Chains A and B, each alone.
Chain A
Amino acid sequence: MIVAGCDVGSLTSKAVVMNDSRILGRAVIKSKPRPWESAESVMNLALADARLARDDVRYCVGTGYGRDKIPFIDEAISEIGCHGKGARWLMPSARTVIDIGGQDCKAMRLDASGNVEKFVANDKCASGTGRFLEVMAKALGVELSAMADLSLRSKHPVTLANACTVWAQADVIKYLHDGIPVEDIVAGVNNAMAARMSTLVRNLGVEPDVCMTGGVAKNGGVIAGIEKLLTVRLKRVRRDDPQIAGAIGAALFAAEKAAGARR
C-alpha cells in the first residue's frame, strides 16, 4: 500500500513516499514563503523520485510547522510524534533522539516500543537551531555543508556565546576581524551548538542508544561536540537521510491509519 509523509519545516520541506515500510521516493527542498507551495513542490518531487502519481497514494500525513496548511493530506500529526517514529525507523535501538530543526531543537525519549515517552524543546530563541548555523555560515562566508569538515581541521577552537544568535554572530565577526582562522571559528560555532543541545538533552536524561536526526545530523562537528559533552557515542543514522526523519514518521503514521481504515 502506497503512503506518503510531508514535513513542511521553517527552513526545509521534506516528503517521503513509502510502501510496506520501504522508501520508494524522497525529496528535500528549501521551504518557500507559503507552506502549501512548499508541500506541493516537495511532494511532486518525491512522487517523481518514486515514479508514482498523486492518485497512487492511499493515505498521506502532514507534519512540521506548516502542517495545517498542506492541502492534499488526509491528516496532520504533530512533529514530536512523527520525529520519534521516524527516528525509531532510522535507528531501531534508539531510546534518546536529538532533533535539530530549522527553528527549534528537541530531545525525545522513546520507550521500548518506540513511542515518545517524554520530550523537551527549546523554541524561545534561534540559538541551538539550524537557523543558528545558517546565520553563522553566512557571516563566515562558508557553505553550510562545509562546516563539518572545516571544524575538524581546527587546532584552537574559539569560545562563542551560545545563548543568543545575534551576540554569537557579533563574536564571529569580531574573530574574523581579529584574523582568527575560519576553521577555529567554525569549530567554536559547532561547539556552541553542541553545548546548547547537550544542556537540553541532559535536562531530559540520556538513555542509550542516542541518535540524531534533522539536517544538523549531517554536521560531524556538532555530533563530535555533543558526544564529548554528553560522554556518550551517538549512533550514526545510516539507513537513510536523517533530515527526512519527520517525513518518514509521517509516512509510517499514514501506513497505520490506512491499514486501520482498511480493517
Chain B
Amino acid sequence: MRQATKEYPFDWMLGSAFATGARLGSGSEKEYRTTLRYVPYFSGILSALHDLGEPGAQFTSLCAKYFENLLSARDRGCKTAATTFCFSPTILYALDIVPICLEVLSAMMHLTYRRGTGEFLDYCNEAGFTETSCSSQRGALGGYLAGLGCQIDMVVTDTPGVCDTNANAFAFAAAYLKKPFFQLDFPPVLVDPRSDTYHREDYRALVRFLEEQTGKQLDPDRLREVLDEVRRQDDIAAELDDLARMVPNPVPVAFSFLVYAGRFLFGGMPECTSMLASLLNVAKANAAKGASGLRSGQERARAYFCYIDHYAQSMRLWGMLDELGIGYVGSILAKHWSPSSPYVSQLAKQAAAYTTDTTDLDTMLDSVASLNSRMPMVKSIRGPYDAPNMWLEDTLGMAKLYSADFVVYNGTPGCRNTWGMLKLFTRDTEKAGYPTHVMYADAFDERVQSWEATRERFEEFVRVRRLLP
C-alpha cells in the first residue's frame, strides 16, 4: 500500500469529501464550479450528484451525515458493527449501533477515487484473505484490516448458506480483528412455515447478542419508531417503483442507486426518508408532465439489471445509460419486498413479502426478522435459481412488470452464487424473450476490466441485438 494511502483514515477521507460536497450545495452555481477546481480528485462524483439536483444534494448530505455518525460513534457512546448490505440496519439503529456497511463503503470508494479500492483489495490478500473472494466486502475491509478506519466493535452478518464469500469475509474480519461475531443464516426456501420459525428464532438470538454487546436492552418504543420509519420509506419506495412502470419512465436513471444506498445506510432513519421524498417529488413532477427521467427526454429502450450495478468512478454506469437513452428500471438491490411494493401486488407475491406489525415486542421482532430475511440477495439467491420466489422467477417477473426490453447481469468474479448458475439463468431469460447481456467486469474493481472495455461491450450488445431504435 502506498504511503499516501496510509496517511489518513479512509472513512474520514470519504466523510470529508461528502461533507465538503454537502456544503457546496449552499453556494451559488459559480462558487460551486470554482470550488470543484480545487477538489479535482472528488469533483467527478460531486458533480455527478450535483447534476441530479435536489435529490443529489440530499444524498450527498445523507452520506456526509452517515460518516459523521460513524466517525463520532465512540464519542457519543455508541457501538459500531461491521455488517453487510443484505442485513437490515433497522435493529442496529434501534439499539443505537452504527452500522458499517462494507459493500456501500466499497462502492463509495470506487465511485469516488480514481484508484478505487485496489490497494485495500490487495491488502486483504496480504493479510491472508483469499483474492477469489468478493470484492464488494474486500474493498472496504482492507482499510479496516490495515487499521485505516474507525473502531469496529462487533461483526454481524446474515449470509451463510446464501453467499459463502460474503460470510467468510465477515468471519475473517472478526477473527483477524478479534471482534465478537454473530451470523444469522437462512434456510434455502423462503415461503415455508419452518423457514419462518427458523428466521424468528435465529433473529431473537441475534438480538440477545446485540444486547450483550451494547449492555442495553432493546426498547420496544424505539424499535416501533424505527419500524414506523421503515414503513414510511417502504411506501415512498413503492410509489417510485410504481412510477418506474410508466412509459416513458419518469424516474431518472441514477435514482435507484440513491434509493438502495440510502436504505442500506439509513434504513429506518428519518435522514433517508426525506431523501427518498425528494426523489419522489422529482419523479412525480416528471410523471405529471409525461416526461422521461432521461436527460434527453427520449427513452429508446429500458433495461432491468438482474443483479447489481457497476460502481465505476463518478457514476459512469448511469451516465452511460442516460447518454444512450436507456431507461433503467432498477436492479435486485433496489427491490425491497415490502407489502406495498408494486411487484408484491402485481405479481401476487404477498407470501414472499415481509410484514411490519408493531403491536408488541414479539410481533415487532417477527416483523424485523421477516424484513431481514427479504433483503436483496438473501431473499432471492438463497435457493436454486429456478425455484419458486428465487432469482429467475423474480427477474422474469420484474422484467415483465417494468416492460424491460433486455436484462443485464453485472456482478463480481468472486460471486459464485450467481456465476455458478449464470449460463442456465441467461439461457432461460433469453428463452423468455429478454436479450441478456453478461458484463464480465467487476462492479468494485476496474482492474478486472476497465470501464471503457465494459462500456464498449455493452454498446456492442445493444447494437448487435438491435435494442436501440
When distances are taken between beta carbons in the complex, the residues of chain B under 8 Å from A81 are 463-464
A 63-117 contacts with B by CB, 8 A? 78, 80-81, 116-117
Q: List 23 A-B contacts (CB under 8 A).
A: A78-B456, A78-B459, A78-B460, A78-B463, A80-B460, A80-B464, A81-B463, A81-B464, A116-B464, A117-B464, A118-B464, A118-B465, A119-B460, A119-B464, A121-B457, A123-B440, A123-B449, A123-B453, A123-B457, A124-B440, A124-B448, A124-B449, A203-B423
Q: What 1/0 flags go to A195-214 for Cβ under 8 Å of B?
A: 00000000100000000000
On B, residues with C-beta under 8 Å from A are 423, 440, 448-449, 453, 456-457, 459-460, 463-465
Q: What 1/0 flags go to A2-37 for Cβ under 8 Å of B?
A: 000000000000000000000000000000000000
- Nearest 7 A-B pairs (CB), nearest first? A116-B464, A80-B460, A78-B460, A124-B440, A119-B464, A80-B464, A123-B453
A116 to B435, CA, bound (A): 14
User: Interface size bucket, A side?
Assistant: 10 to 19
> CB-nearest residue of chain A relative to B413?
A124
A81 to B461, CA, bound (A): 11
When distances are taken between beta carbons in the complex, the residues of chain A under 8 Å from B465 are 118
Q: How far is the CB of A67 from chain B (nearest CB, A)?
A: 11
Q: How far is the CB of B463 from chain A (nearest CB, A)?
A: 7
When distances are taken between beta carbons in the complex, the residues of chain B under 8 Å from A119 are 460, 464
A203 to B426, CA, bound (A): 11
Q: How far is the CB of A124 from chain B (nearest CB, A)?
A: 6
Q: How far is the CB of A57 from chain B (nearest CB, A)?
A: 25
A124 to B463, CA, bound (A): 21
When distances are taken between beta carbons in the complex, the residues of chain A under 8 Å from B449 are 123-124
A 116-168 contacts with B by CB, 8 A? 116-119, 121, 123-124
When distances are taken between beta carbons in the complex, the residues of chain A under 8 Å from B440 are 123-124
When distances are taken between beta carbons in the complex, the residues of chain B under 8 Å from A78 are 456, 459-460, 463
User: Given contacts A78-B460, A116-B464, A123-B449, could you give 9 more A-B pairs where the C-beta distance is less than 8 Å?
Assistant: A78-B459, A80-B460, A81-B463, A119-B460, A121-B457, A123-B453, A124-B440, A124-B448, A124-B449
A203 to B427, CA, bound (A): 10
When distances are taken between beta carbons in the complex, the residues of chain B under 8 Å from A80 are 460, 464
When distances are taken between beta carbons in the complex, the residues of chain B under 8 Å from A117 are 464
When distances are taken between beta carbons in the complex, the residues of chain A under 8 Å from B423 are 203
A124 to B449, CA, bound (A): 7
Q: How far is the CB of B461 from chain A (nearest CB, A)?
A: 8
When distances are taken between beta carbons in the complex, the residues of chain A under 8 Å from B460 are 78, 80, 119
Q: How far is the CB of A114 from chain B (nearest CB, A)?
A: 13
Q: How far is the CB of B380 from chain A (nearest CB, A)?
A: 24
A 174-207 contacts with B by CB, 8 A? 203
When distances are taken between beta carbons in the complex, the residues of chain A under 8 Å from B453 are 123
> CB-nearest residue of chain A relative to B438?
A120
A123 to B456, CA, bound (A): 12
A80 to B460, CA, bound (A): 8
A116 to B462, CA, bound (A): 12
When distances are taken between beta carbons in the complex, the residues of chain B under 8 Å from A123 are 440, 449, 453, 457
Q: Which of the listed residues B423, B440, B448 has the most CB atoms from chain A within 10 Å of its own CB?
A: B440
Q: How far is the CB of B441 from chain A (nearest CB, A)?
A: 9
Q: How far is the CB of A73 from chain B (nearest CB, A)?
A: 18
When distances are taken between beta carbons in the complex, the residues of chain B under 8 Å from A116 are 464
When distances are taken between beta carbons in the complex, the residues of chain B under 8 Å from A121 are 457
A185 to B423, CA, bound (A): 33
When distances are taken between beta carbons in the complex, the residues of chain A under 8 Å from B459 are 78
A31 to B367, CA, bound (A): 64
Q: How far is the CB of B58 from chain A (nearest CB, A)?
A: 38
A117 to B453, CA, bound (A): 20
> CB-nearest residue of chain B relative to A116?
B464
A116 to B465, CA, bound (A): 8
A58 to B440, CA, bound (A): 39
> CB-nearest residue of chain B relative to A106?
B460
A116 to B464, CA, bound (A): 6
